[in-house]
Structure 1
Amino acid sequence: MKNFLTVLFLVFLGGTTIFSQNKKDVLLTIDGTPVYANEFKRVYEKNLELVQDESQKDIDGYLQLFIDYKLKIFEAKAQGLDEGEVYKAELTKYRDQLSRNYLFENKFTEDLAKEAYDRGKEEINANHILIKVSYEATPQDTLAAYNKIKSIREKALKNGADFEQLAKENSEEPNAKSSGGKLGYFSVFNMVYPFETAAYNTKVGAVSEIVRTNFGYHIIKVNDRRERLPKVAVSHIMISDKKGAKTFDPKERINEISTMLKQGQSFENLAKEYSDDKNSGVKGGALKPFTKGELRAPEFEEVAYQLKNIGDISEPVKTDFGWHIIRLDEIVADPTFEEQRVQLEKKVKQGDRGKVVINAVNNKIKEIYGFKKVESYLPFFDTYVTDSVLSRKWKKEPIAAAQNKTLFTIGNKAVKYSDFASYIEERQGTTMPFKDKEKLLIGMYDELETNELKEYFRDQLEIENEEYAAILGEYRDGLLIFDVMDKNIWSKAKNDTIGLQNFYNKSKENYRWKKRLDVDIFSATSQIYAQRVQKMIQEGMAPEDIKTELNPDGSVNVLLTQGVFEIGEKELPENLDIKKGVSSVYPSNDSFTVVNVKEILPESIKDLEDVKGRVISNYQNELETTWMNELHAKYKVEVNSKTLRKLKRRLK
């Protein structure tokens, strides 16, 4: 889904709904198409605080924004953007997501999320035995597998039975002969839902009831339960290994900082001074609490959990982001359900739990609108659909009117055999492969029934629920605004290299370098070392030689940063005296900085490549201004002054 929120200001005027489009006061027309006063009133009252320009906060000024917005919608439709496949897919996806708030899905999802939260407080250690059988197996094979697992369970329940040995002898899980069915410790979401439920419902030392999953039949021996690891809060200092203006070796720099910590330097001050993680650096390196598996840096997590005492500091550790030093700040208490709710509900919607939710939602819709499954469809479709469907090559034939019976009804809508035939032909190429035609037909029917139930509910919802219709209307128009702006302004500005160059040429005086300094920056741990740096520079020593001499035997007393920096950049001391040569000593946190200014580069015009992002943005603004003038000329807008006066009185 496109990042709709990034263009929120462009779409905030949205919200044409079927409830606005009634025979009320017409505020304006665009090429004869009416726009109603109550639509304007709703968006004006809802979005007034978003308007930054004070001149547009009065009704007349806001009306101009509203008209511009409506013109963009008209133009988007004129360009056929509302017929685009991507647009339709994104609107459908959003409608599906939005309707969940009204589809009872959230209630069922919340219940399963609470269950997962409670289970997630524990980890279970277990062994299991698997007898494989797929859901496509014949009844005879299914019964044979069930009888086999039943017999094994009876042996496992006998006093003194060795479950691990039974697993080695009988389980059809890969490597069972060596593993004995050992699963180690696991928790919520680590196993398929039916297996997880059986494990959590079994006491320590006991053997579960027989449970069926996609893999086959299982029995589970629970060996132990224990509380899960808590979250930890840490601080870190990060040195990025990505290329930039700095010329030092990241590994060498992190080792230098590690040495400074061991020499007693403040962790917080070093993080503020040197960490390349800007978000945490300003907070002394502090990160949000996490547990294992939540970060995209397993090496970082592993080292963090090895720290046992509050205040313990790690040795440098390498991740994909660079080098880190980690300090343990807190072992965090278990989060509440509300704190984990969003994450849990997202997981619930996946896998077998999602199927539980779907069945509950379907039953609720049937209850509200009335559902009738007319008769069994299998006898007809077993003959009508050939085995070619198993290789995804089936082509439907026309169904005679007398045979085109009703498959089922929901509310006042009837779904016919021909609808099912079309669905099978369309879906056969994307569904999982089947070996049994009857099971494929049953699976296809379940899919179709679910889709039709939800589609009927959503259609009724847009008629019956004003809030839902308004929100969906806002998003519908918002997508069109995004697409029409991207096509006519944003992408055009990025791809029109000649136009961009011409725009830069006529406005390049607006893109200038400030005065820049080519410098060697020395950060010392004491004023004495800083003064020694000053003297060595004045004596003509090379920067690297100064660093080597002042950091003997692996100690770190001086750090060196070299590069070209604009005046005002954070690498340079505040209030630096801008002149060539050796600077004074500038205290900063726990360090003392000396700058050797080798060259002062004057103000100059930046090359296009140096400011391309800003130039594109400004070029887009110019293109949009021209485009809006063209739209005002293309479409005839007529404002109903009488309705506008009534509206002003009402809003005041």
Structure 2
Amino acid sequence: MKRNLGLCIGFLFVTTIFLGQQKKDVLLTIDGDPVYASEFTRVYQKNLDLVQDESQKSVEGYLDLFIDYKLKVKEAYEQDLDEKKEYQKEFKKYQEQLSRYYIYEDNVTKDLAKEAYERGLEEIEASHILVTSSYADVPEDTLKAYTKIKNIRDRALAGEDFEKLAKETSEEPNADKTGGNLGYFSVFSLVYPFETEAYNTKVGEVSNIVRTRFGYHIIKVHDRRERSTQRTVSHIMISDREDDTRTFDPEERINDIYKLLQQGQTFEDLAKQYSEDKGSAGNGGRLRPFRKGEIKAKVFEDKVFAIKTPGTYTEPFKSVVGWHIARLDSIHGKSSFEDEKAEYERRVKDGSRSKIVVAAVANTIKDKYGFEEGAPYLDYFEDFIGEDLVKKRWEYTPVPEEDDKVIFTIGDRKHYFSDYAEYIREFQRVMRNFGSVRDALLYFYDMFEAESAKQYYKDKLEEEDPEYAGVITEYRDGLLIFDLMQTNIWNKAKKDTVAAKAYYEANKEQYQWKKRVGAVVVNSTNAVSAQKAKQMLENGETVEAIKKQLNTPETVNVIISEGKFEEGAKELPAGFRMEQGIFETKDQDGRYTIVKVNQVLPPTTKEYEDVRGRVMTALQQQLEEDFMDNLRNKYNVEVRKKTLKKLKRKLDK
């Protein structure tokens, strides 16, 4: 179904009301630089509920926190942290996200997502014929390709067999064998223009000519059918990552769990107890619903979609992340757009439709602020860069000053050949493959122009919209403060092991083990096996001996952990006494736990390596206090008492 995006584009921008500039009240100065009362008010009202100390909830009490905050920002600029590439990259990422609300980029995305949802209710079976043509082709070659596909279409419309035509004329690889048959496909499977033409063509008919980055196509639609629905699946996963603290073999553990399933234990209980997929274990292993083709784990998908009956589970199998047992919970009916909106919007942003969103927004910005093309660039850059660009190994060379012409102008901002060259250098390694240098240059130019237009709008937005300016300033300051603290406090604490060990020695009493036991913990749902395990523990049998006698290749009766356990550890059952001997318990779910305590360890001081992280945290706090004392001495802060008094009357209520 075609959808009219023009209506959405018409509402891309928030109308900005320009108010006369009012004189701002200066609350304080830092070395003469003003800080305004409006900024304090915004930060104070936003963060007041987060303040723990009651004495700091008044205007005067909070002012000390605010001054420290501004001192950190001041110091960050003094250290040129705003010039760091990592900071600039992170800031632009947030600026991009925030500005979408103001330029209504998400509205275009939603419109395309709704279109994709409606198309995705069907699958199409089709064949196509391709005549290759690049967007970088000269007009003569483009006309030649178009004329060829038009003649082929005329023959198809006249009744010639489409498969035979494809084998004879299509320039798609292997078309002489496949006849151009694509099988069944749905949304997001093929490039967007092709998909659109296919969905707009009736069964049995030949489409209009459609152009994509591959060339000119015609499509014959053979069939349409309802698309398969979503499935809900649960799984138990045991990671096969290498971990020095792990005391079991992952394959052995998943096989033991599988045997427990066959013995009647519930899938949900086993997932909660043993699954190492933190995102699903708490839900009994349940994953979000998905269709075939929507997850990247092919082995997992193949296993799951091979199950025909809900409630059936697989045998243990291995994927790239570890070992699984998967169960089909349900096969869904049709879901609404609202149910799947988030996923469809994500796929719009990640796929070929993203260019439509970018182009729509860029064109509206160009109309708003004005756009003027500059000097022709294509021939120059084709010579300047050469074939290395297609191979993704172009070594950047600055554009000579005498060649550095204006490539285009947006509003009052000019962009030069040198800016375009910088853009290519930054993104060449993540570009898709191109058949020619001209193809690549055209692609990069479109992206460079669109990104430049959006950046211009975002910069202007900060001038024009006070609300946006406040939010973006707060984020900018937050990033700078993070970099400041990382550079001057956190990294310093991590590297200064001498200071850390000295702090540990001076504060050993803060780092104590609770009472611990060296113990063997046996879990079982079988009373007889639990009693046998208890007897074997009493007789001094080893863990391996107990497992060998009580577990068989077909049945797991006990799962055993061995090590040192601190008081309150999750492995120890409720009511456990930290005493030498054997402790036995049964919980409400019918699970037996036998604990043999071989050793009781009294509270002791932890070694430095055991508490290194906590020591680092405490050392960081001390370094931060010293750092802030230095900043307060370094900068001259003057508070305007008259402005402060006005704020107290307004905010202290």
- Sort the TM-score into its range (normalised by shorter chain): 0.7 to 0.9
- Identity, in percent, stands at 51
Contact 2:423 2:448 in 1 (8 A): no
Alpha-carbon distance change, 510 to 540 in structure 1, aligned in 2, over 3 angstroms: same
Aligned to 1:237: 236
SS at structure 2 position matched to 1:575: coil
Aligned to 1:398: 402
Alpha-carbon distance change, 569 to 164 in structure 1, aligned in 2, over 3 angstroms: farther
Query: Structure 2: how far apart are the matches of 1:447 and 1:237?
Result: 44
Aligned to 1:175: 174
Aligned to 1:7: none
Alpha-carbon distance change, 387 to 285 in structure 1, aligned in 2, over 3 angstroms: closer
Aligned to 2:15: none
Aligned to 1:630: 630
Aligned to 1:530: 530
Cα shift at 1:464: 1.8
Alpha-carbon distance change, 207 to 609 in structure 1, aligned in 2, over 3 angstroms: farther
Alpha-carbon distance change, 236 to 354 in structure 1, aligned in 2, over 3 angstroms: closer
Contact 1:530 1:585 in 2 (8 A): no
**Is residue 2:219 matched to residue 1:220?**
yes
The letter for the 1-side match of 2:256 is: E
Contact 1:525 1:591 in 2 (8 A): yes
Contact 1:19 1:466 in 2 (8 A): no
Cα shift at 1:335: 4.2
Cα shift at 1:449: 5.0
Query: Structure 2: how far apart are the matches of 1:255 and 1:442?
Result: 55
SS at structure 2 position matched to 1:82: helix
Aligned to 1:96: 96
User: Within 5 A, what are the aligned runs for 1:66-215?
Assistant: 66-159=66-159, 161-215=160-214
Query: Structure 1: how far apart are the matches of 2:584 and 2:488?
Result: 54
Cα shift at 1:216: 1.2
Cα shift at 1:74: 0.7
Aligned to 1:33: 33
Cα shift at 1:72: 0.2
The letter for the 1-side match of 2:25 is: D
Alpha-carbon distance change, 54 to 577 in structure 1, aligned in 2, over 3 angstroms: same
After superposition, the C-alpha distances for 1:316-343 in whole angstroms (9 at most, x for unaligned) are 2222333222222233444443444344
Cα shift at 1:134: 1.4
SS at structure 2 position matched to 1:613: helix
Contact 1:527 1:585 in 2 (8 A): no
Contact 1:396 1:421 in 2 (8 A): no
Query: Structure 2: how far apart are the matches of 1:443 and 1:524?
Result: 63
Cα shift at 1:510: 1.9
Contact 1:388 1:394 in 2 (8 A): no
The letter for the 2-side match of 1:205 is: G
Contact 1:29 1:637 in 2 (8 A): yes
Bigger mean CA deviation after superposition, 329-338 or 529-538: 329-338
Aligned to 1:46: 46
User: Within 5 A, what are the aligned runs for 1:129-528?
Assistant: 129-159=129-159, 161-242=160-241, 243=243, 245=245, 247-295=247-295, 297-350=297-350, 352-371=352-371, 377-378=375-376, 387-390=383-386, 395-396=399-400, 398=402, 411=411, 413=412, 415=414, 419-424=415-420, 426-427=422-423, 429=425, 449-451=449-451, 453-528=453-528
Alpha-carbon distance change, 395 to 579 in structure 1, aligned in 2, over 3 angstroms: closer
Alpha-carbon distance change, 204 to 484 in structure 1, aligned in 2, over 3 angstroms: same
Contact 1:265 1:590 in 2 (8 A): no
Cα shift at 1:389: 4.9
Contact 2:28 2:638 in 1 (8 A): yes
Contact 2:152 2:165 in 1 (8 A): yes
Alpha-carbon distance change, 543 to 146 in structure 1, aligned in 2, over 3 angstroms: same
Query: Structure 1: how far apart are the matches of 2:442 and 2:599?
Result: 78
SS at structure 2 position matched to 1:528: helix
Alpha-carbon distance change, 128 to 579 in structure 1, aligned in 2, over 3 angstroms: same
The letter for the 2-side match of 1:216 is: G
SS at structure 1 position matched to 2:103: coil
Alpha-carbon distance change, 589 to 646 in structure 1, aligned in 2, over 3 angstroms: same
Query: Structure 1: how far apart are the matches of 2:492 and 2:644?
Result: 37
Aligned to 1:573: 573
Query: Structure 2: how far apart are the matches of 1:540 and 1:90?
Result: 59
Cα shift at 1:185: 2.6
Alpha-carbon distance change, 297 to 509 in structure 1, aligned in 2, over 3 angstroms: farther
SS at structure 1 position matched to 2:34: strand
Bigger mean CA deviation after superposition, 573-582 or 225-234: 225-234
The letter for the 1-side match of 2:188 is: F
Aligned to 1:10: none
Contact 2:516 2:578 in 1 (8 A): no
Contact 1:385 1:394 in 2 (8 A): no
SS at structure 2 position matched to 1:562: strand
SS at structure 2 position matched to 1:572: coil
After superposition, the C-alpha distances for 1:189-215 in whole angstroms (9 at most, x for unaligned) are 221111111111122222221111111
After superposition, the C-alpha distances for 1:449-504 in whole angstroms (9 at most, x for unaligned) are 54554344334322221122112211211111111111111211222222222222
The letter for the 1-side match of 2:203 is: V
SS at structure 1 position matched to 2:311: coil
Q: Once superposed, what is the RMSD of the aligned Cα atoms?
A: 3.3
Contact 1:133 1:142 in 2 (8 A): yes
Query: Structure 1: how far apart are the matches of 2:302 and 2:514?
Result: 45
The letter for the 2-side match of 1:218 is: H
Query: Structure 1: how far apart are the matches of 2:552 and 2:358?
Result: 69
Query: Structure 1: how far apart are the matches of 2:98 and 2:104?
Result: 12
Cα shift at 1:631: 0.9
Contact 1:254 1:316 in 2 (8 A): yes
Cα shift at 1:80: 1.2
**Is residue 2:597 matched to residue 1:589?**
no
Contact 1:203 1:222 in 2 (8 A): yes
Contact 1:156 1:166 in 2 (8 A): yes
Alpha-carbon distance change, 295 to 604 in structure 1, aligned in 2, over 3 angstroms: farther
Bigger mean CA deviation after superposition, 135-144 or 284-293: 284-293
SS at structure 1 position matched to 2:627: helix
Alpha-carbon distance change, 197 to 620 in structure 1, aligned in 2, over 3 angstroms: same
The letter for the 1-side match of 2:402 is: P
Q: TM-score, normalised by structure 2?
A: 0.86
Query: Structure 2: how far apart are the matches of 1:20 and 1:288?
Result: 51
Query: Structure 1: how far apart are the matches of 2:100 and 2:519?
Result: 59
The letter for the 1-side match of 2:217 is: H
Contact 2:504 2:615 in 1 (8 A): yes
After superposition, the C-alpha distances for 1:81-108 in whole angstroms (9 at most, x for unaligned) are 1222332333334333332322243332
Query: Structure 2: how far apart are the matches of 1:443 and 1:328?
Result: 44
Alpha-carbon distance change, 127 to 648 in structure 1, aligned in 2, over 3 angstroms: same
Cα shift at 1:377: 4.5
Q: TM-score, normalised by structure 1?
A: 0.86
Alpha-carbon distance change, 94 to 274 in structure 1, aligned in 2, over 3 angstroms: closer
Cα shift at 1:446: 5.2
Aligned to 1:3: none
Aligned to 1:11: none
The letter for the 2-side match of 1:593 is: T
SS at structure 2 position matched to 1:512: coil
Unmatched tracts of structure 2, length 5 or more? 1-17, 388-393
The letter for the 1-side match of 2:383 is: D
After superposition, the C-alpha distances for 1:397-431 in whole angstroms (9 at most, x for unaligned) are 5389xxx8x987655x374xxx5444455456566
SS at structure 1 position matched to 2:127: strand
Alpha-carbon distance change, 495 to 340 in structure 1, aligned in 2, over 3 angstroms: farther
After superposition, the C-alpha distances for 1:580-617 in whole angstroms (9 at most, x for unaligned) are 23222433623211112222233333233333322222
After superposition, the C-alpha distances for 1:124-158 in whole angstroms (9 at most, x for unaligned) are 22222222121222322222222222222233334
**Is residue 2:27 matched to residue 1:23?**
no
Alpha-carbon distance change, 377 to 558 in structure 1, aligned in 2, over 3 angstroms: closer
The letter for the 2-side match of 1:192 is: V
Bigger mean CA deviation after superposition, 204-213 or 60-69: 204-213
